[in-house]
Amino acid sequence: MLILASASQSRKKLLENSQIEFIQISSNFDEALVKEKDISNLTLELSFQKASRIALNIQEIDLPEKFNYSSVEILGCDSIFEFNGRPFGKPSDKDEAYRRWSQMSGEFGFLHTGHTLLFSTFDSSSKILKVTKKIKKTVSSKVYFSKLQDEEIKNYVDSLEPLYCAGGFALEGKGGKYIERIDGCFSNVMGLSLPWLRKSLIKEGIFP
């Protein structure tokens, strides 16, 4: 059984649309606890901490009884957008979102998503979980933005969508029409590389 250690709705939709059986549990990990300057390494460490938090607290989690938990795979992810060497997380307010989009218009950046997959055995009666293997990887996609009119930027910021997305844009939302091209994994830009997940599971004999 796959556990998505994230509250992200975009990651949830990706797994649902791919018809991969899973349950979603937020890790509630405080990201401020991780101090790492390299953006790629930061996303990887955050993904590991999120997955590990679920593994450590599994006994306190009320798991749905209808699933078979003899083996459990815990997936942690974290996404950060890099622009001109700087990390762009979620904008703090509309003013910051406007400034960012004014810079990104007609330019490109990199969306980094750290992935951690913990393979484990689980005794449902004692709720003891033992991690047997972990796979970690940061997947990066190059995102090119269209040259936008100032009015377009204002309208997009006023929609408030940028305030809830890493980098201040959502490929699957209103922001999709402002993305000119993507080099690399498409689903990675939405927070989860489905090809990476599929290959990682298949290597362990799990066919999603």
Domains along the chain with CATH numbers: 2-203 (3.90.950.10)
pLDDT-derived band at 67 (thresholds 50, 70, 90) equals low
**What is the pLDDT averaged over residues 50-64?**
90
* Residue 106 φ then ψ, to 5°: 75, 5
- Whether pLDDT at 82 is above 90: yes
% of the chain exceeding 70 in pLDDT: 99
Please state, rounded to an integer, the average pLDDT across all residues of the chain. Answer: 94
- Phi/psi at 92 (5° precision): -75, -25
Window from 51-60, 118-127, 157-166, 172-181 with minimum mean pLDDT? 118-127
* Active-site residue flag, 78: yes
d(CA 207, CA 132): 18
- Smallest Cα–Cα separation from 194: which of 113, 127, 109? 113
Q: Residue 206, Cβ neighbours under 10 Å: how many? A: 13
Q: List Cβ neighbours of 75 (8 Å cut-off, separation of 6 or more).
A: 2, 3, 4, 5, 6, 22, 51, 115, 116, 117, 192, 197
The confidence score (pLDDT) of residue 50 equals 96
Catalytic residue (one of 30, 38, 62, 78): 78
Whole-number pLDDT of residue 66: 63
Res 166 pLDDT > 90: no
Is residue 167 predicted with pLDDT exceeding 80?
yes
